[in-house]
Amino acid sequence: MIIHTEEEVKNINERFEDLLDHCTHITKPEDRRLIKNAFLFANEAHKGMRRKSGEPYIIHPLGVSKIVATEIGLGSKSIASALLHDVVEDTEYTLEDIRYNFGERISVIIDGLTKIAGVFDKKSTIQVENFRKLLLTLSDDVRVILIKIADRLDNMRSLDSLSRNKQLKIAGETSFLFAPLAHRLGLYTIKTELEDLALKYQDPKIFNEILQKIKDSEKTRQLFINKFSLPIIDKLNEHNVKFDISGRPKSIYSIFTKMESKKVKFEEIYDLFAIRIVFEPDPNTPEKIQCWNIYSLITDIYMPKPERIRDWVSTPKANGYESLHGTVMGPNGKWVEVQIRTTRMNDIAERGFAAHWKYKNNGQGESELDKWIRKIRELLETPTTDALEFMDEFKLNLFATEIMVFTPKGSIITLPTNATVIDFAYEIHTEVGNQAIGAKVNQKLVPLNHTLSSGDQVEVLTSESQRTQREWLDYAYTAKARASIKNALKAENKIRIQAGKKILEEKLKQINLHPNSRIINKLIDGYEVENKDELYLKIGGGLLPLDNMKKVLKKNTKNKWIRYWELTYSKSIQKSKKQQSKTDNKQQKAKPDNKQQQDQVIDLGKPLIIREGIDEPGKNYRIAKCCNPIPGDDIVGYKSPNETIIIHSTKCPTATKLMSSHGNLIVSANWTRHKILSFLAGIRIKGIDKIGIANSITNVISRDLNANIRKIAIETHDGIFEGSIELYVHDTKHLNNLIMNLFKINGVISVDRIENIHE
């Protein structure tokens, strides 16, 4: 049996020799020997194995190794690990075999690569948990991630042999996670190719159309680049700059996203390509100054577009990228982007943090890679029960574009584009975020949901009495801020639940009761909450007073619907029409015994009083289903043939018909006049001052909850408003609903009840 043909063996050996030829940075004999031994071991382990394309499997590890060596620029251990990366997963060899033959460090890398191999092949929850475990090793050896990215790139380059379904799955994973991850690690060239290849399989029609248009315009583009570059070449030579200049079209994916976002055609995109100048810097002059000097020479030739300057030399991107970008007006009225960077900057731009290590961060302390890894570890150490949510929040840490903002003392904070004040606050410190009430951005007061821009100087305003708000989750963009808010809310709710449970137990003890499931269920039903945690939470938060607990426990809570409407007759004897009107308004209560009430003949001249929340056995009415009136609606009763009073809304078409045809059977009826029995209450409200906030508050009180305002006073200072409001409410439930609705207003930070309000 022929395992590999002679031609295949020749191809394998040629590919390995090509790999060694490209390892020019590997010079020590022992390092090159390590790579050779790893190849021989992997080749033997994968003998007889083939890829879906039909080629020998070892071709894949060789491809990954070449990417690791040439496109990322890693060393001998990484190259050897790339050659061995599938051995433990796909063959009979174990991690112990790797450790015995190649040492502890390589076995650790292989272990990480083996773990991540199954991340995208199982159910989502398991995938994410594996991915989380893998990322925990990130600070130990980032090479695991770098080799995995190389593995994904080689797979994407050979995706044609897989089924359409597999292609879409792998392309989706690539665009969702691997391309942003490559970008975050500074692997721009790889990131660009991953994006293009993902688009190729996700939307082949669009991909091929853009590709063809780039090819069709290649000759014209090259002529333009030459015409544009010649004056620059002369100018740089004149100033003795050692440089290389090149022009390249933007990636297919970036052109596609620009067409989509701006809703324009291919021909309408003005910056289809960029000119890159990479120069050898003078060691005696700061690189930043040299970049700006070259930019100055170019703008002596071509008119610049000032608003399109991108200075990543003064403030590098979070992934270490450094370059000076400018846009100038070239020949024929075309805008051209020019990128200026040193050879060192270009090395980092092409190969990311792998190259960054080589320069040792120039002794400037913690590297951007270290900062990023620290952020990832913070996220990983935050427990979450939602696996997909974890993936989304991790992806937020792979943001493709960043902004640089400043603290009041001038320190730079890097955040993703679209970050808000609340994100900045939590980036400073968790407690700063938890106590934030607003901020001053460039000396102007703004709310917590204000979106920041590059160059903003931000001062967070805090208050010790501030509490974390659930609506902040709508403001937060970064994973760190969202995780911190969720943790604070959980902690606060836990404290309130415990406090509420203790308060309830003490109240029950006062009436010689012990909490049990029957009592708790009655309270849940009586106070109209979903479960016992919500019951404890509202009690602990002061939103559910227990003054009427005995009354609630005495109620028959089997039928919630019945509790809304109860019927009784007035006990008062009406001596005259004038006295009757007064009696109706006072709503004097009568409590005849059940037998007496059931036997009583209905007096059609008396108005029926329908009371909320009163348990009355033997009642002889029901609510009409055609109009379903509720407390507050104008109602009438109709005496049916079986003596039951049917309660209709006065606006109900059926009631109108009955009143016109059976007027003698119509009974006047009223709800209990609780709205007349309103009482004065006060609330204190605080938040971020903004246009329309006072109007929003009064609308909620007067329009949404139909409460009458007695007095309102609002003062503002430093962009924060504080107010006190006196108003009439029907009961504590009404007041609690009012407080909760005021909390929902964008900009409101706290709402509290004021005790001891007097007429």
DSSP string, 456-490: -BEEEEE-TT----TTHHHH--SHHHHHHHHHHHH
Residues 242 and 266 in one domain: yes
Residues 44 and 67 in one domain: yes
Q: What is the CATH number of the domain that holds 740?
A: 3.30.70.260
| Cβ-based neighbours of 301, under 8 Å, separated by 6 or more | 231, 232, 235
Residues 230 and 301 in one domain: yes
Q: By the 8 A CB rule, do 144 and 106 touch?
A: no
Q: DSSP class of residue 647?
A: E
| Calpha distance 248→336 (Å, rounded) | 11
Number of H helices, E strands in the chain: 32, 21
Number of domains in the chain: 6
Q: 160: buried, middle or exposed (CB in 10 Å: 19+, 13-18, 0-12)?
A: exposed
Q: How much is the pLDDT for 731? A: 63
Helix orientation angle between 387-396 and 124-136, rounded to the nearest 10 degrees: 50
Catalytic annotation, pick one of 8, 55, 90, 471: 90
**674 within a domain of the structure (yes/no):** no
Catalytic annotation, pick one of 8, 31, 55, 89: 89
Instruction: Please name the residue that has the structure tokens 């060596």.
Output: 69
Closest CA to 646 of 622, 663, 682, 625: 622
Mean pLDDT by 10 residues, the chain (759 residues): 80 93 90 94 92 91 94 89 92 92 90 66 48 56 84 93 82 81 82 93 90 88 90 95 89 88 76 88 93 95 89 81 91 88 88 58 51 61 52 55 80 84 93 91 88 88 86 87 87 85 85 82 79 84 78 60 34 39 43 40 53 48 69 71 77 67 68 54 84 83 76 80 82 77 83 67
Q: How much is the pLDDT for 187? A: 84
- The amino acid occupying position 231 is P
Residues 17 and 162 in one domain: yes
**533 within a domain of the structure (yes/no):** yes
| Cβ-based neighbours of 581, under 8 Å, separated by 6 or more | none
Query: Does the active-site annotation cover 89?
Result: yes
Residues 536 and 578 in one domain: no
Q: By the 8 A CB rule, do 279 and 343 touch?
A: yes
Residues 38 and 142 in one domain: yes
Q: How much is the pLDDT for 103? A: 92
Residues present in the chain in total:
759
**759 within a domain of the structure (yes/no):** no
Residues 130 and 233 in one domain: no
**663 within a domain of the structure (yes/no):** no
Q: 230: buried, middle or exposed (CB in 10 Å: 19+, 13-18, 0-12)?
A: exposed
The H or E element spanning position 132 is helix 124-136
Residues 12 and 98 in one domain: yes
Closest CA to 149 of 121, 111, 189: 189
Residues 293 and 405 in one domain: no
Say what the alpha-carbon torsion angle 214, 216, 221, 226 is, to the nearest 10 degrees.
Answer: 120
Domain that holds residue 685: 679-754
Q: How much is the pLDDT for 571? A: 34
Domain boundary at 309, 331, 363, which? 363
C-alpha distances in Å from residue 463, one per residue of 439, 460, 543, 724: 12, 10, 22, 18
**673 within a domain of the structure (yes/no):** no
Closest CA to 437 of 695, 446, 715: 446
- pTM for this entry: 0.56
Query: Does the active-site annotation cover 90?
Result: yes
Residues 163 and 262 in one domain: no
| Calpha distance 89→427 (Å, rounded) | 40
